[in-house]
Structure 1
Amino acid sequence: MTASTLRHELDDLRARVAGTVTAPGDPRYDEARAIWNGMIDRRPAAVVRASSADDVAPTIAFAREHGLALAVRGGGHNVAGNGSVDDGIVLDLADLSAVTVDPATATVRVEAGATLAHIDAATEPHGLVVPMGVVSSTGIAGLTLGGGVGWLTRAHGLAADNLVSVDLVTADGRQLTVDETHDPELFWALHGGGGNFGVVTAFTFRGHRHGPQLFAGNLVFGPDRWRQAWAALEEWTRDLPDAMQAITTTLTPPPVAEMGDEPLLFIGFAWASPDRAAGEAHVGRLRALAPPDQEEIGDMRWVEWQAVFDPLFPKGSRAYWRNTSFDRLDADVVDVLVGRGTEQTWSGTAFDVHHMGGAFGRVAEGATPFPNRAARFWLNIYGFWTDPADDDERVGFVRGMSADMEPFATGGHYANFQGLEPAGHRGFDPRTVFGPAKYQRLVEVKRRHDPGNVFHVNQNIPPG
């Protein structure tokens, strides 16, 4: 298809949708095509900014009619850049961001373009929270379809574990509402199988009573205290109630933090219970095991805590991530964590260790596609920098630490923590990630709802 022919065809697309269609040459094209990861610079043939769910089916149909690849973008925060595609159509759902709370049933309906910040702002006045991630600018759609790990994972499970129903448009334009009784196999696949099966236009979640105040904070350790801190974490996490979530971060703080220029270890925690005294007692036990160099703890609003990491990840950051699960913090693992942590003498890479278990671990392995419910810890190694000259060093650090941790990996990868792998490097292999039984179930759902693999700009599960 020539450029002039495509321009003519895009006029037809504009007539089919109520939203805007932006193409190369339009004044706002570069703004429309921009995604969060500044390392990924794709030039789609057009970006359709849907004004409602009614724009979804015509956009899918147009891409199919003209043999164009289709990328679906919610919040646009996907580190692998799956919200864009060269020479294809981007369906941008950012304007579908309404959140409706039903206090009587404690359910929350969220349109697919909403971010965590939209949800938190809507649920807080009702004393509710929905388990989500750790960065408030993250889009809810990709987060949930990949699983959704965050500050409430031990207390209430993944974001996907709290799904009540999903509104979805299939490759052939059907509008479905799926739940445990209406197409339960498709509903199962949407609990971690990614965007392979259709375009989700809205999610309904179970909310949980909490807030608005949260007991949370960080215990901060300099490098000379790290081994003691990791040993304390190993012991402390052996006997914690579900309400206590810990995420341990190692990084050199950015200059704006005014915390010096050496790498630091932060044991961050969030206590998802109204019994503050019990939370204080658990933190006190950790403090006794490893007295911190400094601490920042107290009561804060949930919406504030959910945004604590936001400054690290502004739009346009250059980003490359890898992840793995593991189950112990013995001397060999700690050697890697301490060695790689002290190596970070720059601000621009970091790694988090999420303590898993709790409600997350009690979900049966086959109940969702999400891999490895037995994982005790999940490691996310991530780069976030701005200068292209730093690309090789930052990517090299992430790859190097990932390789160091391979001997201790216990299986599975979390799709939302997986960056784009260039040609020649091992990427996301769904057969390995999900395992044979889950993978085959996902393939069968894919074959039934998207036999032509229209939805392939993702961590793809081919229809066979």
Structure 2
Amino acid sequence: MSTVHDNARELQQALHELRGKLSGSLIEPGDPLYDDARAVWNGMVDLRPRAVVRAGALTDIEVVLDAVQRTGLALAVRGGGHNVAGHGTVDGGLVLDLGPMKRVQVDAGSRLVTVEPGATLADVDRATAPYNLAVPLGVISGTGVAGLTLGGGVGWLTRTGGLSLDNLESVDVVTAAGEHLHASGQENPELFWGLRGGGGNFGVASSFTFRARPLPAAPLGGNLFYRRKHWRNALLAFAAWTPTLPEEMNPIVSFLVFPPEFGMGGDPWMILGFMWVGEDHQAGLDRVGQLTAAAPPDEQEVGPASWLDWQSAMDSVFPKGSRGYWKNVSFSRLDEETVDVLLGFASEVTWEGTGIDIHHMEGAFGRVPEDATAFPNRSARYWLNVYGFWRDRSEDDRLTAFARKAYALMQPFAEHGEYVNFLGAEVGLKEADAARAAYGPEKFQRLVALKDRYDPHNVFRLNHNIPPTQPPPG
């Protein structure tokens, strides 16, 4: 019993010392801020860390890594906390919350944008929009830039500008050993390769530098709304429309029941949303006209859009505390057979709290060579995401099972790889098996080699983990 007490005293002393070294704050159980500090976006993840560090400066990263090495506490690294698998927290361990570190610097002349690791999409968009610039990011403005980018980054500019990680110029990283490394195409290029798609497996990313892309002052955005009886015709028309689309057109098809505040009734809708970032609005309208001629929508809203408003339009659908489980599939066929399967399970969604997205890829995304980054698949024409955002705990089993069912039904059409940012926690699946399935055997082995070099003791394991070749016992 005395050993237990001694260990507890030693841990408490280590945390006391940690508190004294931090620029930020250390929050422990019993603190009035504790419940808020431990919470992540996914309300299904309800864990109790031993302590949460809210970083006050980038120097806190090294201080926390040193404390982890000395105490043996498991480490969770959190940027925006929006990861659906809930990797930004840990039971009984230490959370490094980088959320307060949100500074974004824009050099409009070079179009270089430097971003701290706690920044969200909204922080970056607010900084770049006044210069008519944008970094290709995601679709919910509260998402953290760090996790989004390290895993990929699919959004409203993917066909025009590629993934978020395709627009990275460099990343600064602090490794488990306390090394401060600069990774780019010229410095530590193999690490730079792995950081672009390999997630947070190799260290704490302390800074990102992106090259932004020009954005029209008022890009053309729109949504075409279809009632269920028109879904089949609209989806087949979409399939016929996409092969000749210019890269300025970025469409996403969604199936969902809107929350009451959207005023769309309680019926399920198919929504074809698009962002046209060409300077010539008429050219974009002509392209949309080709689709609406083949599949007239029941309702539509099309016109010049504020980029900031567009990027945050769906934020209210995904409030913090939503309960989520996601599955994803890459595929290229969108023929009669595939449409039958897709609409078969999409037609079951009659409740608020589950959505289905079909992202049209290709364009700039598809022009990146397959082996240029760790992202798993560049050849797929489409990417399906089945995502939950429900509120009722009693629905967990049913709605998780629905996502798994949809994933299983799409397997006959699935191509290689899975997108880790669209992947929930897979209980019972070995880490190595999950990672190998996501990345494929060749990229997985290359990532393992990086893990062996930069994190052989698997300090950074609370993620979609790439285990080292021989992790230490326990």
Among 81, 88, 92, the residue aligned to 1:76: 81
SS in 2 for 1:31: helix
SS in 2 for 1:353: strand
SS in 1 for 2:324: strand
Among 345, 349, 357, the residue aligned to 2:350: 345
Deviation of 1:425 (Å): 9.5
Farther-moved stretch of structure 1 (441-450 vs 421-430) = 421-430
Contact 1:196 1:456 in 2 (8 A): yes
Deviation of 1:426 (Å): 9.8
1:192 and 2:197 equivalent?
yes
SS in 2 for 1:367: coil
Gaps of 5+ in 2: 470-474
SS in 1 for 2:355: strand
Instruction: Report the equivalent of 1:141.
Output: 146
| Separation in structure 1 between the aligned mates of residue 167 and residue 210 of structure 2, nearest angstrom | 5
Gaps of 5+ in 1: none
Deviation of 1:92 (Å): 0.3
Give the partner amino acid of 1:256: E
1:21 and 2:26 equivalent?
yes
1:44-98, Cα deviation, whole Å (9 max, x unpaired): 1110111111000110111111111100000000000000111111000011100
Give the partner amino acid of 1:100: Q
| Separation in structure 1 between the aligned mates of residue 314 and residue 366 of structure 2, nearest angstrom | 25
1:170 and 2:175 equivalent?
yes
| Separation in structure 2 between the aligned mates of residue 251 and residue 362 of structure 1, nearest angstrom | 31
| Separation in structure 2 between the aligned mates of residue 255 and residue 394 of structure 1, nearest angstrom | 20
| Separation in structure 2 between the aligned mates of residue 408 and residue 344 of structure 1, nearest angstrom | 21
Contact 1:211 1:302 in 2 (8 A): no
**1:343-422 mapped onto 2 (5 Å cutoff):** 343-422=348-427
Contact 2:356 2:384 in 1 (8 A): yes
Deviation of 1:447 (Å): 1.0
| Separation in structure 2 between the aligned mates of residue 3 and residue 334 of structure 1, nearest angstrom | 58
SS in 1 for 2:410: helix
Contact 1:131 1:153 in 2 (8 A): yes
Contact 1:350 1:383 in 2 (8 A): yes
Instruction: Report the equivalent of 1:39.
Output: 44
1:10-65, Cα deviation, whole Å (9 max, x unpaired): 10111121110011122211111011000000111110111111000110111111
| Separation in structure 2 between the aligned mates of residue 439 and residue 339 of structure 1, nearest angstrom | 34
**1:201-350 mapped onto 2 (5 Å cutoff):** 201-350=206-355
Identity %: 53
Give the partner amino acid of 2:172: D
Contact 1:124 1:211 in 2 (8 A): no
| Separation in structure 2 between the aligned mates of residue 33 and residue 449 of structure 1, nearest angstrom | 28
Give the partner amino acid of 1:103: A
SS in 2 for 1:112: coil
Contact 2:431 2:465 in 1 (8 A): no
Across the aligned residues of Structure 1 and Structure 2, the Cα RMSD in angstroms comes to: 1.3
1:182 and 2:150 equivalent?
no
Contact 1:131 1:162 in 2 (8 A): yes
Q: Could you state the TM-score of these two structures normalised by the residue count of structure 2?
A: 0.96
1:241-275, Cα deviation, whole Å (9 max, x unpaired): 01101100001111111111111100010012111
**1:43-58 mapped onto 2 (5 Å cutoff):** 43-58=48-63
Deviation of 1:388 (Å): 0.4
SS in 2 for 1:61: helix
1:462 and 2:467 equivalent?
yes
Contact 1:151 1:270 in 2 (8 A): yes
Among 108, 116, 124, the residue aligned to 1:111: 116
SS in 2 for 1:385: coil
1:412-436, Cα deviation, whole Å (9 max, x unpaired): 1000000112336999712122222
| Separation in structure 1 between the aligned mates of residue 337 and residue 48 of structure 2, nearest angstrom | 45
Count of aligned pairs: 464
| Separation in structure 2 between the aligned mates of residue 178 and residue 392 of structure 1, nearest angstrom | 42
